[in-house]
Amino acid sequence: IDARVAAEIKAVGVSYAGISIDGTEEVHDRFRGCPGAFQRSLAGIRYCREAGVKVGLRVTMTRDNVGEIPAIFDLLETERIPRICLYHLVYCGRGAEIASHDLAPDVRRATLDLIIDRTMRLHERGFPVEVLTVDNHSDGPYLYLRMVREGNPRAGNVMSLLRMNGGN
């Protein structure tokens, strides 16, 4: 996405663009198999933002990049990117080819705790980033149980959403 494409995206009425970032520059370029991919993705993010298109990051979490999540959150804050979607690996399409790279259950829970902690810190510092985890229906109940355990007064709000959405 260059400046011209970002302007076209805005002109046709697209209000949101999700751009994949798999980690720091070295990890992203290796993950994508394309030197320079990170810098092009970052430029696309900036061009979209300059054109007035809301932009967010898309991250599929695997054993290959789970250690990059803190750096990705740093990038969110530095670049003031308002949204991130962190996807659990789905075993279909290309995901089926790398199913063995999925997170172990204990790593998945630790990663979810990291995501929750980093999100809370961003909000506490006045940056209300939207953080979504996708494709693991236990994330919502996990968040709820953690909030209950910590005595968070908004746990009831999460339970209301879980009931409204059938537990997810």
pLDDT digits (tens, 9 = 90+) for 53-104: 999 999 999 999 999 999 999 999 999 999 999 999 988 888 888 899 999 9
Strands 54-61 and 83-88, sheet pairing: parallel
Say which residue, 156 or 96, is predicted with more confidence: 156
pLDDT value, residue 18: 96
Integer-rounded Cα Rg, in Å, for the chain is 17
Please check the confidence at residue 168 and state whether its pLDDT lies above 80.
no
Residue from 161, 119, 123, 109 nearest 140 by CA: 161
Statement: residue 165 has pLDDT above 90: no
In this structure, are residues 158 and 165 in contact, taking their beta carbons and an 8 Å threshold? no
14 is written with which tokens?
């697209």
Rounded to whole angstroms, the Cα distance separating 140 from 64 reads 24
